[in-house]
Amino acid sequence: MAEKKKQIQLPKDALSRVSLGHSFAEYDLIRSKPEITVRTPALLAAEDRERSKCFFVGRRGTGKTAITYRLASQRNSAQILPQVIVPAGLAVGTEDLKDTRQRPFRSLLAAFKRNILEEVLAEWNKKNYLKLADLPCELTRERNLIEDFDFDLRLVKLMEEIVADLAPPREKGWLRQIGRPKDMGKIMDDLSDGKGWEYTLLIDRVDEAWDGSDRAVIFLMALMHACVELTGSVRCVRPLLFLRENIFERVRQIDNEFSRLETFVVSLDWSQSQLVEFVERRLNLPFNSKLPLGGETWNYFFEGAAESRKNVFEYCQERPRDVLTYCSFAVEAAQSNRHQQVMIEDMQAARLSFSKSRLKDLGDEYAENYSQLQLVLSRFHGLGREFTVPGITDFIKKLLVDEEVKAHCSNWIFRHTTPEGFIELLYNIGFVGIGDGAGNFQYRSLGARSSTGPAISASTHVIVHPSYAEALGLQNVVVESLSAAINLQSGGMLIDLPEAISLDEYTDRLGRVEDNLKTLPCGQETAGDFEDLVGDVLKLCFFRSLTNVAPKVRNVSGLVIRDWIGANVAHSGFWEIVRQRYQATQVVWECKNYSELSADDFHQASYYMTREIGRFVVIAFRGEVKKHYYEHIQRIASEKEGGVVLPIQESDLKVFVRQARNGKVKESHIQEIYDRTVRAIS
């Protein structure tokens, strides 16, 4: 007689113990737990060196960063978050760089390849596989570059050197520079032969510190070609590049050898069964006894297996961040109602919160491609869920006479004024599906896609994705035309701005800050002006998390004067982590209008750390971060119970301003600065 399967019992209050974690991997405190990992095809490809794939492409929220965190914890892996892709002032024109077969582009390619190889040598030295003093004579010239520069500064120096050799009198030097990566790769393979020194470099978030220009795309092309060539020629290094699909599409449009890159791409698409497992693993996490995966865990925690899955997977786009966010809202609703299961009414109650979150996230995701995209999306408010081509045509006509849209979206909206072009744009960003009018609609995939979508004809119907319908208050009707009497409205849902300020004034002030940062000289005479600029950055770029920002705040004795201080009221993301980890209920920003920080500057910052306001201080200055700065920060951490001083460069301030002007609500850039600092002092 077969043994009866043991029935697993969870506590009656099991749902009250569940926390699904944060939907952004960089803020997710449970991401390191192996039991929550779903082994997707993309993860398997990243772990398998024999597959020779080096590009992992998907939309925001499909798991790119989660893969990098998982691989970075493994042996012989390192994460790289470049802050410089396009060195400023490089003396070569954009048009000269476009052809991948010509010398200017080959110069960029060689600089990226050499920099990646030198990064592997730096990792070998860090892991004590090889001391720099023991480098073979053929590699000794690399020692100073490895010791004195990090990945970004080394790239700038290499590009400057190789571009300088482009001029005809220095042709021999240029040829030697071009051949240098090949020679280095052969020597490094000989060094690592049979020793298990093969290294994986995880290059992520390359779009955080660039401006989205054609020049930036060309430099990214060079990095991609460098990854391909190293993957095929050097055994000891495996560079993996993680890209958002909108960035990948920009490369597709420009690269005249794109077919070479496509064969190295892994798409980050998820199946419904993988997404169910993704949620189930997180539901099981608090319990010693685990319910079986494959549906049983879902059925235990959610009322009505078929109905609850329909609610999630017909409402969300099939990517893990959407599913996790929606399920988290539903679980929280069930917990507040003291339900033992997530009921259908809990899932319905979560819809509006999720829809608003998703709509803001979409505008943020494509801010680099389409600045202030949320303005255009907001104009759908109160209209229908489905449009015919004539209905879209009328909608476009109204957009083109909208003064706010013309003022803030003019750099892209006039390129998409035909119905076909506008529908294709909305389809490509995942806002709408395209159908035949008989209820058959197709939404675009989440990973690397083909360059063409469904055909658009006079009979085409366009439907707004269900996940945006609640936030926009869409009616369940087909819009075939919009009369002159109908005015487009935004409903006040999308535009998140500081108090008592209009969008026009907001973008004007950001533009002035950006211009002033470019022209303001360093020195004591303009120190007050720099403080004012940093204050503007705080008020305009971090107003969602840092409030009541005040200058020249003194303590009760009047002896301590802090340049800027803001109350940390964040409920999620980077600033919430800072508040919890460092008890930073207030965040001090110290401003230094010079390029070189001294030990006194760090001592001053540590003096501001108190039990009352927390142990987290930001120093904004005009130069580059030097390695010895981290020694001062490490000393402060040991003296101040793990307190951290975060150095913010002028280039970082410009990134914050540019992202805010484009309507991008994201904290990943300052998160990267923090991650880099913490890793350096650990």
User: Which tens digits make up the pLDDT trace of 526-572?
Assistant: 999 999 999 999 888 888 888 888 887 655 454 457 788 999 988 76
What share of the chain in percent tops pLDDT 90? 43
> What mean pLDDT comes out for the span 90-103?
86
CA atoms within 13 A on the CB side of 270: 27
Q: Is pLDDT larger for residue 289 or for residue 91?
A: 289
Continuous segment of H or E residues that includes residue 589: strand 586-591
Give me the pLDDT at residue 492, please.
Answer: 42
For residue 266, report the phi and psi dihedrals to the nearest 5 degrees: -115, 130
Q: What is the 3-state secondary structure (H, E, C) of 152-165?
A: HHHHHHHHHHHHHC
What per-residue confidence (pLDDT) applies to 612? 86
Q: Which amino acid is at 136?
A: P
Residue with tokens 């539903």: 330
Pairwise CA distance, residues 243 & 315, whole Å: 26
* pTM for this prediction: 0.73
pLDDT at residue number 493: 41
Contact 146, 139 (CB under 8 A): no
pLDDT band for position 86 (50/70/90)?
Answer: confident
d(Cα 371, Cα 349) in Å, to the nearest integer? 32
Q: Where does the pLDDT of residue 218 fall: very low under 50, low under 70, confident under 90, or very high at 90 and above?
A: very high
CA distance 390 to 399: 14
The answer to whether 189 and 652 have CB atoms below 8 angstroms apart is no
For 219-261, the pLDDT digits (tens) are 999 999 999 999 999 999 999 999 988 888 889 888 988 988 9
pLDDT at position 236: 93
HSE-up of residue 78 (Cα within 13 Å, Cβ side): 24
DSSP secondary structure string for all residues of 236-257: TEEEEEEEEHHHHHHHHHH-TT
Write out pLDDT tens, residues 359-410. 988 888 888 778 889 899 999 998 999 999 999 999 999 999 999 899 889 9
What integer best gives the mean pLDDT of the chain?
87
Question: What is the DSSP secondary structure assignment for residue 316, as one 8-state letter?
Answer: S
pLDDT at residue 1 in the model: 41
Distance CA 103, CA 170 (A): 13
- pLDDT reading at 2 higher than 60: no
Residue 434, SS3 per DSSP: strand
pLDDT of residue 447: 61
State the pLDDT at residue 313.
87
Q: What's the angle, vertex CA 370, arms to CA 487 and CA 434, rounded to 5?
A: 70
Tell me the C-alpha to C-alpha distance, in Å, between residue 324 and each of 23, 122, 306, 312: 6, 38, 18, 10
Summarize pLDDT for 488-506 with one digit per residue, the tens: 876 544 445 666 567 778 8
3-state secondary structure of 302: strand
Q: Which residues contact 486 (CB under 8 A, 6 or more apart)?
A: 398
Return the biggest CA–CA distance within the chain: 90
Contact 25, 283 (CB under 8 A): no
Whether 207 shows a pLDDT value over 70: the answer reads: yes
CA distance 212 to 617: 31
